[in-house]
Structure 1
Amino acid sequence: MASGSGPVSALWTEINRCGQNGDFTRALKAVNKILHENRDDVTALRCKIVCLIQNGGFKEALNVINTHTKSLTSDMIGFEKAYCEYRLNRVEHALKTIQGIPEQTDKLKELYGQVEDLGLPESSYELCYNASCCLIGQGQLSQAMQKLQKAEELCRKSLAEDSDVTEEDVDAELAIIHSQMAYVMQLQGRTEDALQLYNQVIKLKPSDVGLLAVTANNIITINKDQNVFDSKKKVKLTSADGVEHKLAKKQLQAIEINKALLAMYTNQADQCNKLLTSLQAQNPGHPRPVLIQVAQLCREKQHSKAIELLQRFSDKHPESAFGIKLTMAQLYLTQGHVTKACDILKSIEEFKYKPGMISALVTMYTHEEDIDSAIDVFTQAIQYYQSEQPGSAIHLSLVREAANYKLKYGRKKEATSDLEQLWKQNTNDVHTLAQLISAYSLVDQDKAKAYPQTWQFCIVMSFESQNLILLSKHLPSPDTMSFKVDVDELENSHGATYIRKKAAKVVGESQPKEQG
């Protein structure tokens, strides 16, 4: 174990640093490496649960807790279990978990109160608002909007009972509800409605600097590279005194990233680089600051320098390299280096055999007229699925696509192995059998004759000499066959080599032109 102490120690250092920077995704990757060596490491398991919770993975965290009940006792991980159940709206389970914990700490008592509130009828706008937040976290946006509308109604009704409350007071109290409504609209793609509601909140100038900063930031994300004058005004609201005490580190980093983007869009290169340098110092493994820096370099037409930067980051932080490599491939494509782009895409192991990636690689290699490399992509993918998911729909679909591709580009001999594999999976597939016999008739006529053992009726295969009679015991009987044949389609299909012979010229007669 001594030899492994160094790497493990380095991983714990990485976890601690990532936790301080709020980068729980990267911390989780480091934790998983530790658990790969020792799956029952209690400290690592607890860290994994915290990382999952911080990233909103409540179901996954609960699954880890329930899988390791012997190692993770209720007094050790009870709060996290109850919190996950609470966030998943499992009120009764959460209450039961809290009640079963021997030592009732202050944070447990606070959570118990929140869970009880969630289980009670939503008789106040605060409870309705809290319920909507849970629904947003679960992706249930329509239901969340309904809760927010109910919260607004209850808020107005509650404040109307106080004769001293003015309309301005009501609007101020509704600001947080309206900002959350706008956020739901933004997630639903209703950006115009969201923008209008966000701006209404800004005009009220709420005293909560955290609410003001989040609302202004969300307006900037809608504006993107448009309406930059408005964004420059809004960005000032994200830097008000006290914001750092109101928002989580992750929220503050998101605001800084948007500031860098805005600086790039407004051609403030120095300010953009300054912000990015600060972000990278806080979180060296986060890819987004690097991607913004690359975009800035591309705006300055420094594509080679941008690719070098991406390559360095990819080498140093392979666990965060997916988006980086996609950007590298895109840059190579814009420069016309298609083969280099393919090499980069093939190096993304976790997506190497995805149908979309296979399709993209085959298309690019075909564009370069590199048919061998395109076929190699098919071959490797088929071997992968043959090993991992033999006979699955995606496996057989790839085999068929490979066969069709090889037939299309004249690789009929190579196509026969794919067609054989397909036909063996379904010996009633007459179309595949016909393709197979046709392919063999072009590359190995003896094999074409020998492949079917008995013959039942005639198919004319060639007009060059005597008719080649090919019949298969696997083909349906004449009584059951439909002879609705599209001759043009057959002549144009992959593998067809019949060429109609012109009649010999007769001296003195004009010859009509062949049609088709």
Structure 2
Amino acid sequence: MVLFIGQLNAFLGSPFLDADIYFCRIGQESLMEENLANDEIEIELAPIAVQLAYVHHILGNTQEAFESYTNVIKRNLADESSLAVATNNIIALKGPKDVADGLRKLDKLIEKGDGPQTFQLARGLDLKLARKQREAIFVNRLLLLLHSNKMDQARELAFALPSMFPDSVMPPLLQAAVHVRENKANKAEEILGHFADKFPDESKVFLLARAQVAASAGHLQIAAESLLKISDIQHKPATVATIVSLKERVGDIEGADGVFDAAIQWWSNSMTEDNKLDIIMEEAASFKLRHGRKDEAARLYEELVKSRGSIGALVGLIQTTAHTNIEKAETYVKQLKPLPGLKAVDVGSLEKTSGAKHVENDSTASITEAFEAKSKEKVKKKRKRKPKYPKGFDPANPGPPPDPERWLPKRERSSFRPKRKDKRAAQIRGSQGAVSKEAATSVNPKSNQTTKGPSQNASAEQSKPSSKSRKKSKN
């Protein structure tokens, strides 16, 4: 049974039936009739479960898709191809949130090749998966390598992909992305331009990428040229505005003017309902007037006034013709409607002042006066409430006012007086436990005197030799 995405969307949104249960029930019933075991039935139904999870993914039901992918991977009963697709899709669903886990899972699916191909899928998945599925696995691995800043591996894989998928658009774009990450914008622009010429049917993708890379690198002329090569969008207002802005920054006023002229010609010949000719003409007239091309700007404004009759175009026409033909500008001024409420405006005095005064009519003045009178009557007097005092407080005799410095610390108050230090205290210097000589003498002067006497006597006795020693020396 094959359903298109629109049918599946209506089917999944049905309040009466869940598509997952419906399809799995049909498959389960048909397989149970063949007397298969439960594990074999789940293996057979695994591709359907993965496809339904992918449908949820495409339709934006990310939570249902994530649960279905996780269930298939955890049970590990599916075939190799279904597990590989579920693993790749759940990594794409997560995005750059868990790069390390995604790389670890994809590394199990990819291995180095022995033949001409540098990389190949493991466990024979090259033969089981379609080309788009294989390309998605390699592309996701390269994107994860770029997110994890593993530039060597990313460069190796990026230059191997064009030979593996020669008809695909993604390998050149990824090569350019690698060069941009390595600050090689010129190389990226060269690769994108080469593949734009090589694949003319897909040149729009390459040229848009080239314009973005060039504009980010400051190569504004290359960006403008890339956008001009895309024929199906160069007449759209957004593209015209971008190209004109790029050329104006470079200084190519002639080129920017030519872009406006080409867009005006295209929309003039277009028969679409949503015609943007008036928008393009108004912007072109403003551009021409800004760059001194007053005659062309006046012509465009005149066409706008005739076709649409807008006041903005008429004002622009007056401003433009005032530089070249004042009489013609005065005739256009007469087409402007007078502003209501302005009386007796003197142009000479208006030029000298900041602006004209707005004079109200008598009716409006009377209305405002009546409204002001009513508003004054309706204003009620505010009720004054008596203040609440603490218990025992007499407002007639409040007593002395509290100290205004009561909230400040004591050291910051004006009445604070620090304690004086005792200057008579001895200053002890030296190591801990040491005592100065003066302190020692002042503490016990008598002990010094008592100790001094015996020591002097002892020294005198030592100086006088004994009589016995003298006699021995004489003999």
- Residues in 2 aligned to 1:499 and 1:296: alpha-carbon distance in whole angstroms: 67
Structure 1 residue 357: Cα displacement? 1.1
Structure 1 residue 142: Cα displacement? 4.3
Equivalent residue, structure 2, for 1:444 = 325
- Residues in 1 aligned to 2:348 and 2:131: alpha-carbon distance in whole angstroms: 71
- Identify the match of residue 97 of structure 2 among 203, 215, 226: 226
Residues 350 and 356 in structure 2, CA contact (< 8 A), matched pair in contact too:
no
Distance 1:351 1:241, change over 3 A: same
- Residues in 1 aligned to 2:267 and 2:342: alpha-carbon distance in whole angstroms: 35
- Residues in 2 aligned to 1:486 and 1:318: alpha-carbon distance in whole angstroms: 63
SS at 1:350's partner residue? Answer: coil
SS at 1:356's partner residue? Answer: helix
Distance 1:291 1:245, change over 3 A: same
SS at 2:235's partner residue? Answer: coil
The residue identity in structure 1 corresponding to 2:179 is L
Per-residue Cα deviation, 1:256-275 (whole angstroms, up to 9, x for no partner): 33333334444444544444
Equivalent residue, structure 1, for 2:226 = 344
Equivalent residue, structure 2, for 1:471 = 334
- Identify the match of residue 182 of structure 1 among 45, 50, 53: 53
- Residues in 1 aligned to 2:212 and 2:159: alpha-carbon distance in whole angstroms: 24
Tell me which protein shows more helix as a share of its residues.
Answer: 1
Q: Which moved more, 1:213-222 or 1:235-244?
A: 235-244
Q: Which moved more, 1:399-408 or 1:300-309?
A: 399-408
Distance 1:498 1:372, change over 3 A: farther
1:154 and 2:19 matched: no
Structure 1 residue 349: Cα displacement? 2.4
Structure 1 residue 425: Cα displacement? 2.5
Structure 1 residue 230: Cα displacement? 1.9
Residues 209 and 240 in structure 1, CA contact (< 8 A), matched pair in contact too:
no
The residue identity in structure 2 corresponding to 1:299 is R
CA RMSD of the aligned region, Å? 4.0
- Residues in 1 aligned to 2:241 and 2:67: alpha-carbon distance in whole angstroms: 42
Structure 1 residue 197: Cα displacement? 2.5
Question: Where in structure 2 are the equivalents of 1:367-406 lying within 5 Å?
Answer: 367=249, 371-389=253-271, 393-406=275-288
The count of corresponding residues between Structure 1 and Structure 2 is 340
- Identify the match of residue 502 of structure 1 among 343, 352, 370: 352
The residue identity in structure 2 corresponding to 1:298 is V
Structure 1 residue 391: Cα displacement? 9.1
Per-residue Cα deviation, 1:419-443 (whole angstroms, up to 9, x for no partner): 22223324x5455345434432332
Equivalent residue, structure 2, for 1:295 = 177
Structure 1 residue 346: Cα displacement? 1.4
Question: Where in structure 2 are the equivalents of 1:397-436 lying within 5 Å?
Answer: 397-407=279-289, 411-426=293-308, 429=310, 432-436=313-317
Structure 1 residue 382: Cα displacement? 0.7
TM-score normalised by length of structure 2: 0.60
- Identify the match of residue 86 of structure 2 among 209, 212, 215: 215
Residues 282 and 313 in structure 2, CA contact (< 8 A), matched pair in contact too:
no
1:143 and 2:24 matched: no
- Residues in 1 aligned to 2:214 and 2:145: alpha-carbon distance in whole angstroms: 26
Residues 332 and 341 in structure 1, CA contact (< 8 A), matched pair in contact too:
yes
Residues 406 and 414 in structure 1, CA contact (< 8 A), matched pair in contact too:
yes
Structure 1 residue 289: Cα displacement? 0.6
Structure 1 residue 150: Cα displacement? 4.7
Residues 212 and 237 in structure 1, CA contact (< 8 A), matched pair in contact too:
no
Distance 1:249 1:286, change over 3 A: closer
- Residues in 2 aligned to 1:177 and 1:190: alpha-carbon distance in whole angstroms: 17
Distance 1:384 1:201, change over 3 A: same
Residues 165 and 171 in structure 2, CA contact (< 8 A), matched pair in contact too:
no
Distance 1:499 1:223, change over 3 A: farther
Equivalent residue, structure 1, for 2:143 = 261
Residues 20 and 49 in structure 2, CA contact (< 8 A), matched pair in contact too:
no
Residues 24 and 45 in structure 2, CA contact (< 8 A), matched pair in contact too:
no
Per-residue Cα deviation, 1:401-454 (whole angstroms, up to 9, x for no partner): 32344456665432211122223324x5455345434432332224446x77xx
- Residues in 1 aligned to 2:62 and 2:94: alpha-carbon distance in whole angstroms: 10
TM-score normalised by length of structure 1: 0.55
- Residues in 2 aligned to 1:298 and 1:194: alpha-carbon distance in whole angstroms: 33
User: Which 5+ residue runs of structure 1 have no aligned equivalent?
Assistant: 1-129, 453-469, 476-480, 488-496, 504-512
The residue identity in structure 1 corresponding to 2:90 is I
SS at 2:351's partner residue? Answer: coil
